[in-house]
């Protein structure tokens, strides 16, 4: 096993974990109330369907991409954090548009890299083992500073390809990308936005779908995001959620080959057996139940949690045939 990414440190003796979290929440709320956003970020008109009154979204064109970021990113020093990131040759980055299979691909990559084929994912949650590039470290999110992560650093990102730093492109870091049928990604994002207490979205699905197609959700326009990575498929390993469903063993072999890792057939079988939806949902290190305990997400599980259904084609329960046709006409228009 490589690195020490299986174990996370305990809270210090002077202050309990609950005290740390409450202090961070209070400071965070005060910062949102008082924040001043730079002039080069265009405010998006407030959407009353986000019933958390503090939530606002901003847009900024960066390297040709109309990037959308919520104010709670900007208040945490988002741009400064991104500007300070320096990729290393051994870095492995899993990228996606949100709700496209990120968690699934992260766990597969972690197991391939660490040779873990059993039930366990170590003693640490996925956020700790696989910090997010664009988020500063946070006790609430249980993410440590990227500088503290042993090599090879496993890093998650929802940034578009256009916003990856030059160091990622020049260092030899490995980038993997997972995409998903846009209809299923939209449905999953809708439920996620209803579950997360930072958003508390309470609009209808058609209202949310309109925001999706207009590119008003983090991190910005869906089609441009997917195209950015697919246009670089010569250097980026591009997989789909549907492939992870239909032939996960083949996906694991592709990941291993891309990362230069040797796996036996038994290794592949072990990884596949322990990364099905039921196994991931039962695994405390991949099911994100800690979000509910920490108040980041609703505890009633009405929206199904971070891992909701894990199926292909759930969009059929949300789109009429005419709506699907119109949505796919939009999806297939060139950008």
- Please identify every residue annotated as catalytic: 158
Please state whether 196 falls in left (phi above 0), alpha (psi between -120 and 50) or beta.
Answer: beta
Cβ pair 158, 95 in contact under 8 A: yes
Please state whether 260 falls in left (phi above 0), alpha (psi between -120 and 50) or beta.
Answer: left
Q: 242-249 contacts: CB < 8 A, separation 24 or more? A: 242/180, 242/181, 242/312, 244/101, 244/104, 244/105, 244/108, 244/178, 245/312, 248/108, 248/272, 248/275, 248/276
- Residues whose CB falls within 8 Å of the CB of residue 311, separated by 6 or more in sequence, listed in order: none
SS3 category, 1 = coil
Distance from the Cα of residue 194 to its chain's centroid: 16
Q: Which residue has the tokens 């072990």?
A: 270
């Amino acid at each position: 096993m490589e690195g020490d990414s299986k174990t996370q440190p305990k809270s210090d003796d002077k202050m309990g974990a609950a005290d740390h979290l409450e202090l961070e929440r209070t400071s965070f709320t005060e910062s949102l109330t008082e924040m001043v956003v730079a002039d080069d970020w265009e405010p998006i008109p407030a959407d009353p369907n986000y019933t958390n009154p503090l939530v606002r979204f901003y847009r900024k064109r960066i390297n040709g991409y109309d990037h959308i970021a919520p104010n709670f990113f900007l208040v945490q020093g988002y741009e400064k954090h991104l500007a300070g990131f320096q990729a290393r040759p051994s870095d492995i980055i899993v990228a996606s548009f949100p709700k496209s299979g990120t968690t699934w691909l992260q766990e597969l990559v972690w197991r391939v890299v660490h040779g873990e084929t059993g039930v366990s994912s170590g003693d640490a949650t996925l956020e700790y083992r696989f910090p997010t590039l664009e988020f500063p470290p946070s006790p609430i999110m249980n993410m440590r500073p990227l500088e503290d992560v042993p090599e090879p650093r496993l890093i998650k990102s929802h940034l578009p390809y256009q916003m990856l730093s030059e160091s990622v492109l020049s260092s030899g870091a490995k980038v993997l990308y997972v995409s998903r049928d846009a209809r299923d990604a939209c449905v999953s994002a809708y439920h996620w936005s209803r579950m997360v207490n930072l958003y508390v979205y309470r609009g209808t699905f058609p209202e949310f779908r309109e925001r999706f197609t207009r590119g008003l959700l983090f991190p910005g326009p869906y089609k441009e995001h997917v195209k950015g990575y697919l246009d670089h498929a010569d250097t980026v390993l591009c997989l789909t959620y549907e492939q992870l469903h239909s032939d996960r063993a083949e996906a694991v072999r592709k990941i291993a080959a891309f990362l230069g890792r040797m796996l036996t057939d038994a290794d592949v079988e072990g990884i596949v057996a322990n990364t099905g939806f039921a196994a991931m949902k039962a695994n405390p290190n991949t099911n994100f139940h800690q979000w509910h305990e920490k108040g980041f997400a609703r505890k009633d599980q009405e929206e199904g949690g971070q891992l909701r259904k894990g199926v292909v084609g759930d969009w059929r329960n949300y789109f009429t045939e005419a709506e699907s046709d119109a949505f796919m006409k939009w999806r297939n228009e060139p950008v």
